[in-house]
Amino acid sequence: MIPRAETAHWIAASIALFFGLVLISELIVGREVFYRRKWRAYLFPSLVIVSSVGLWVITIFSTFSTMHLLAHSIWAQAALVAGAVELALARGKIRRAAWSLVPAFALLVSGIAFLVHEQNPWLYSRSAFLHHAIGWMLVVVSLFPLMHAVQPRRLAWRTGYALTFVLLAVLLFADRDAAPIFGRFGLGGP
């Protein structure tokens, strides 16, 4: 049984929220303590890669529109590449902070895909509003891993990257297949 789009978005939101909590906890305890257990070091990269596989599955069911097919493919590929880089970082195969440019690029491409594949204006529906909001949010927050590549010791960029996932979760949880933008207030929408 294939879930509705909003259900798939809520599941994605749960994963994003878990990502956020894991990254925030890593910031709190520090990388040295967090990496003390191998499974914890691999948790975030593994989940990103598993999410990319899930996105590929969703891509298979997105054949109702070429635009959605392409957008989901781009998200799946971006997540896969970002997850692979995170995994290599966790394993110590790569060490340079410049590798943060890959997640930055993945976020930027994902944001652009969100913006391009939403054909309705901001206030058309809640779904359209959230697509625009998430798209621009991803474009802006791609600056966090970008700046981390430039200033790897600065805590603000890693904090912003962690909070990105919490914000993404909030926006995805707000999604409905059919609803006016702000619920019972009925602003916008058909």
Minimum CB distance to other proteins, residue 37 (Å)? 6
Give the residue with the Cβ less far from other proteins, 157 or 165: 165
Measured CA to CA, the distance from residue 112 to residue 168 in angstroms comes to 15
Give the closest residue to 162 by CA, choosing from 9, 5, 21. 21
Give the closest residue to 20 by CA, choosing from 50, 43, 37, 39. 43
Minimum CB distance to other proteins, residue 135 (Å)? 21
Give the residue with the Cβ less far from other proteins, 38 or 96: 38
Other C-beta atoms closer than 10 Å to the C-beta of 4 total: 10
Minimum CB distance to other proteins, residue 11 (Å)? 6
Position 9, amino acid: H
Q: How many residues does the chain have?
A: 190
Give the residue with the Cβ less far from other proteins, 17 or 67: 17
Minimum CB distance to other proteins, residue 190 (Å)? 21
Burial of 39 (0-12, 13-18, 19+ CB in 10 A): exposed
Tokens representing residue 137 in the block: 């949010």
- Distances in whole angstroms, Cα of residue 47 to Cα of each of 39, 51, 184: 11, 6, 35
Number of H helices, E strands in the chain: 8, 0
Give the residue with the Cβ less far from other proteins, 18 or 105: 18
Residues found near other proteins in the complex (CB under 8 A): 1, 3-4, 7, 10-11, 13-14, 17-18, 21-22, 24-25, 28-29, 32-34, 36-37, 40, 43, 173
Minimum CB distance to other proteins, residue 3 (Å)? 5
Give the residue with the Cβ less far from other proteins, 9 or 117: 9
